[in-house]
Amino acid sequence: DQQVKQNSPSLSVQEGRISILNCDYTNSMFDYFLWYKKYPAEGPTFLISISSIKDKNEDGRFTVFLNKSAKHLSLHIVPSQPGDSAVYFCAASGDSNYQLIWGAGTKLIIKP
């Protein structure tokens, strides 16, 4: 039973355009959501997070939107750059628990 789902295994976007990565979750107890970025042969690196008390968090080119009623969050990257090509993981935690539940990841490819 996947509690965090990233339904797009891969996404290809033109450089300079907007990249939108999606994530759905099923557990209503999740109250904190994170996005991680992973390059090959490296561990995931933290990108941006959002608490369930918010519906938007922005950090430079990266914005995360949370729709609690739909149990859906998305990561927007504007403008997309070649260095953004990586695998992006969505993760969630809840109930003051340190455990992160991870999605399967979406491979983002930025085309020049």
Partner 1 sequence: EAGVVQSPRYKIIEKKQPVAFWCNPISGHNTLYWYLQNLGQGPELLIRYENEEAVDDSQLPKDRFSAERLKGVDSTLKIQPAELGDSAVYLCASSLTRNEQFFGPGTRLTVL
Residues that bind partner 1 (CB under 8 A): 4, 9, 32, 34, 36, 41-46, 49, 89, 91, 93, 96-100, 102-105
Strand-pairing partners, residue 5, are 24
First to last CA, the chain: 38
Residue with Cβ nearer partner 1 (1 or 42) = 42
Closest CA to 75 of 29, 18, 31: 18
How far apart (Å, rounded) are the C-alpha atoms in residues 93 and 107? 22
Closest distance of CB 65 from partner 1, Å: 18
Measured from the CB atom, the residue of 66 and 91 that comes closer to partner 1 is 91
Instruction: Identify which of residues 49 and 74 has a Cβ nearer to partner 1 in the complex.
Output: 49
